[in-house]
Every structure is written in structure tokens, then in C-alpha cells.
Chains A and B, each alone.
Chain A
Amino acid sequence: MAVELSFSKEIANMMYATHGNPITNCLQCGTCSGTCPAAEFMDHTPRVMIGMIGADLKDEVLASNTYWTCASCYHCTVRCPAGIDIADMMYALKRYSMWKSRYKEDLIGPDFSEGFVKMIVNSGKSFEPILATTYLPKFSASQLVQEALTATGLVLKGKMPLLPKKIKRLKNFQRMVKRIIPLGGSS
């Protein structure tokens, strides 16, 4: 008989492949929150996030911007006295929210990641101007102006590529990708 997993167990399972200790080892000491350079921009600090997962507060976790505000700098991971790979936990939460298609509306991170993946699958390489189309629609007018000025500066300095690059064995590459995730022609 199948047992329905609790939210905390689901997240624990998603972290099975990471190499740190399980999040149930958390002491709630707050070293991660004190270390995190982005904590002040998070709805919940990393320490609170771990507590919320343990308490099975699924809806609250999925409505939080915390893991999409993680820059993956791994400072929390190397300092955690309980040996938890907290940065990888943030990645696991990003994957969970992408998988469930549930995240805070105004976030750019999910579209950015999805656009990045599509771009790589289509060309094998990353290319800034194509990537920009995934996040520019969410920018405010003043942000767009700033971004345009920055991009123009880069083009003038010869730093912004004008033509996308592609790898040579793209067909093999795409078949390789399909062996990992069947994309069903959505690429």
C-alpha cells in the first residue's frame, strides 16, 4: 500500500543525492542565516526555511522567495556545524517548485532557469541576448533603460557577442539530452 509522503520527507528525498547530512540534523543555530549575504532579501532566512520544512509547512515554503534569492555561494554549506549542504537544499527547493509549477508570481528566477535550459538544449552554448528575452519582460521600465545602457556599453566595448554560437555535434547532443529527459518535442 502506497503511503503519501509528508512534505519534509519529499524534500529529504530530493536531497538524497547531495552529500551533506539530512536536514533533520539541523540545530536551529542560525549560522547559515548570519552568514548568508542575501538573507536580508529573503522572505524567510535559511534557518527559518529549514524549520518550516521540518514542520511540513508546504504552502508557506512554496510561497517564499527564499530559495530563489539564494546565489549558490555555499558559504552556509561550509559553515554549517551540523554538516548540512544548505545551498544544495536551496537547489532542491528550486527543483521542487519548478516541478510543481508553484512559485511566487513576481520572481524572475524560474523563467530565467527555464529559458537557460531551453537555450542550451537548442544550441549547446549560452548566449546572453537570447537569454535576455526570458527575463526582460518582467523588468520595470527603469530597469529596462538601465539594462539597455549596460548592454550598449558592452557591445561598444566588443564584449557582447552579436551572433549566437552553436556546438558542431548538436544533433548528437540533443539526442543525449533526450536520453535523460524525454522532452516530447517541447524544446
Chain B
Amino acid sequence: MKQYAYYPGCSLESLAKDYQLSTKEVARALDLELKEIEDWNCCGATAYFPVDEMLAYTLVARNLAIAEKTGLTDFVAPCSACFKNAYYTNAYLKKDPDLAEHINFALEEDHLHVDGKLNVRHLIEVILEDVGLEEIKTKAVHPLKGLRVAPYYGCQLLRPRKDHENVENPRFFEELLSAIGAEPLEYSSKARCCGASLIITNRRAALEMVRILLKDAIDHEADVIATTCPMCNVNLEVYQNQVNQEFGTQYSIPVMYFTQLMGMALNIPSRRLGITKEPVPKAQVPVPS
């Protein structure tokens, strides 16, 4: 069984407990051993870089150093914002010896040292690359037949570009949804921003950004929106009521983590995935005559 240094991030202990539950269940079912690193700290999200860049890198570097100490090679984050911060900090540390030296001077206070030698990966990449579509298909004993899912990539999973991958029209989320028997739908705003922390700092702007995403998914007759990030999930799910109030709409669409949908397909009971209400394909709901 392959082992990974697992960094859940703050959201998975609070607003995204259901992401944490479903991640652990799905990992177990797919024979991925996620070993949570000890005494990790907040990655700084997007709110730290406006204050001090070096400190923002140092916070992330502490988590990377703790993970390096375990001897494991792969650092896995289920939150897209945590993933982006860890990915770039790791890359910059490897590339810039001056930055590494400065940060290691600070890390001495916690008896840590960082080299930037980890493979930093998002959970969805690990599942796609290390388990693979064929194995997922085999294990999906309860395929989500007829369920129309809007794959929502969001931002930090894709951008900025890490290598030469397709950031304009990625397909990997669709492929994963097909592998669990669902019907991934095509809609143009799959990688458009959800507004992230603007939901606090500029509510009107964020609600408009959320409205556009909800409208696009609903116009394309989605039964459910699937996400890979706690921030996206909260903005799209929790703020639907505020969108309806602000714009006079009547949107009501379930928003689920991709791990919850995978868990359903892997035949894991809903309550162990943090699912309170299972999405039902609209096509199967009888229309009242």
C-alpha cells in the first residue's frame, strides 16, 4: 500500500468535515494510506501574501519540513488553496537557495529543515495517477448511472500553470466522473473563479461570481456540482440562499466533494461520507402531471 504525507488543512477540520470523512473513506477503499503529518499549521490561504511574502512562504515551509522528516516522498493536500501554496513554495525552495537559507534559519526555532524535495500533489491527481481510471471503474460497484454532474475545477487546482498542462480546457475531472458511471456535463465556466475570500471582503462581487457558476450549471441541467476545494464548496453551497436573496433567483442545487460522489460509487454508506442528502438524477424524478 503506497503511503503519503497527508496535509488536511484547517478547513477539513471545520467547514469541510464532510470532505475529510469522504477523503479518508475513499482512500481506504482505494488502498491509499494517508498519514497525517504531525502538528501542522495553517498554510496562510490567500490572506497571508498581502501582508508578508517571506512569512507566507515560511508558514508553508514548516509543513513541508515536517512532511520531509517522515521520509515519505509525496505530500498530498485535498484543499486546492493549500495545494497551490505548498506546490509553489516547494518549487521555489528547490530553485532558490537564498530563499531556502532564509527560511531554514527561521525553521531552526522548531528544529526543522526543508529542502524542497517533495512531490506536492492534489488528492485528485493522486487518485487519477496512482490508482488510475481502470481500477476506479472496477471498484465502482455502484455506478452513478444517469447522474448529471457539473465538474467544477475552480482556480488553484489548475492555475497558475505548473508545467505544460491544459489550463484552459482540462478533461481529467470529466474522466474521473465517467469512471464512476456519472455523466459529466460540458459547461463553459468549469474553471471560472468562485470568488474565494471575496465572499467576505467584497460580498457583492463574490455573490455575482457564484451566481454565474450556479446559473451555468443549472442551465445545463446539472443534478449536482462536484468540487475539489472547501472554499469553492462553501461559496457554491452555503451562499446559494444569499444569491437567491440578492438576485431574486430560486437556485437549489446540491454541491458535493468529488470524494463524496466517488464514495457513493464505491458503495460506502452515505453517513460515512458526510452526505446528508443524496443527489437524485432529475431525469428519474417523475414530473407531476
Are B54 and A180 neighbours in the complex by a CB distance under 8 Å? yes
A59 to chain B, nearest CB (A): 20
- Across the interface, which residues of B come within 8 angstroms of A179, CB to CB? 105-106, 108-109
- CB nearest neighbor in A for B14: A161
Q: Which of B175-214 contact A (CB under 8 A)?
A: 191-193, 195-198, 200-206, 208-209, 212
Are B201 and A135 neighbours in the complex by a CB distance under 8 Å? yes
Stretch at the interface among B39-47, B132-140, B281-289: B39-47
Secondary structure dominating the interface of A: helix
A62 to chain B, nearest CB (A): 14
Q: Knowing A117-B48, A172-B110, say if A135 contacts B200 (CB, 8 Å).
A: yes
- Across the interface, which residues of B come within 8 angstroms of A37, CB to CB? 192-193, 195, 209, 212
Are A150 and B196 neighbours in the complex by a CB distance under 8 Å? no
Cross-interface CB contact of A108 among B200, B208, B209, cutoff 8 Å: B200
Are A176 and B106 neighbours in the complex by a CB distance under 8 Å? yes
Cross-interface CB contact of A114 among B39, B45, B51, cutoff 8 Å: B51
Interface flag for B256 (CB, 8 Å): no
- Across the interface, which residues of A come within 8 angstroms of B50, CB to CB? 91, 94-95, 98, 109-110, 113
- CB nearest neighbor in A for B192: A37
Stretch at the interface among B22-30, B216-224, B238-246: B238-246
- CB nearest neighbor in B for A93: B50
Are A120 and B196 neighbours in the complex by a CB distance under 8 Å? no
Cross-interface CB contact of A161 among B13, B108, B160, B201, cutoff 8 Å: B13
Instruction: Pick from A17, A74, A98, A153 the residue with the most CB of B within 10 Å.
Output: A74
Interface flag for B53 (CB, 8 Å): yes
Q: Knowing A74-B155, A95-B52, A126-B42, say if A154 contacts B15 (CB, 8 Å).
A: yes
Stretch at the interface among A25-33, A45-53, A64-72: A64-72
- CB nearest neighbor in A for B239: A150
- Across the interface, which residues of A come within 8 angstroms of B48, CB to CB? 113, 116-117, 120
Interface flag for B251 (CB, 8 Å): no
Are A173 and B41 neighbours in the complex by a CB distance under 8 Å? yes
Are A109 and B159 neighbours in the complex by a CB distance under 8 Å? no
Contact code string A77-95 (vs B, CB < 8 Å = 1, else 0): 1100000010100010011
- Across the interface, which residues of A come within 8 angstroms of B200, CB to CB? 108, 112, 135
Interface flag for A44 (CB, 8 Å): no
Are A176 and B204 neighbours in the complex by a CB distance under 8 Å? no
A119 to chain B, nearest CB (A): 8
A120 to chain B, nearest CB (A): 5
Are A173 and B110 neighbours in the complex by a CB distance under 8 Å? yes
Are A109 and B242 neighbours in the complex by a CB distance under 8 Å? no
Cross-interface CB contact of A71 among B10, B107, B197, B276, cutoff 8 Å: B197
In the assembled complex, the Cα of A127 lies from the Cα of B30 at a distance in Å of 32
Stretch at the interface among B55-63, B69-77, B142-150: B55-63
In the assembled complex, the Cα of A68 lies from the Cα of B51 at a distance in Å of 12
Interface flag for A159 (CB, 8 Å): yes
Q: Knowing A85-B160, A108-B200, say if A159 contacts B14 (CB, 8 Å).
A: yes
Q: Knowing A116-B47, A146-B242, A179-B109, say if A75 contacts B193 (CB, 8 Å).
A: yes
- CB nearest neighbor in B for A143: B203
A25 to chain B, nearest CB (A): 16
In the assembled complex, the Cα of A175 lies from the Cα of B200 at a distance in Å of 30
Are B55 and A177 neighbours in the complex by a CB distance under 8 Å? yes
Interface flag for A128 (CB, 8 Å): yes
Are A113 and B47 neighbours in the complex by a CB distance under 8 Å? yes
In the assembled complex, the Cα of A128 lies from the Cα of B212 at a distance in Å of 26
Are B201 and A108 neighbours in the complex by a CB distance under 8 Å? yes
A-B contact pairs, 28 of them (CB 8 A): A37-B209, A38-B209, A40-B208, A41-B202, A41-B204, A71-B155, A71-B193, A71-B206, A71-B209, A74-B160, A75-B191, A75-B192, A77-B159, A91-B49, A94-B49, A108-B202, A109-B202, A117-B52, A125-B13, A127-B10, A143-B203, A154-B15, A161-B14, A165-B13, A175-B110, A176-B58, A180-B52, A181-B52
Top 6 nearest A-B pairs (CB, nearest first) are A73-B193, A94-B50, A74-B159, A116-B47, A172-B110, A41-B205
Apart from A38-B209, A107-B201, A179-B109: 6 A-B pairs, beta carbons within 8 A? A78-B168, A91-B50, A112-B47, A112-B201, A117-B51, A165-B10
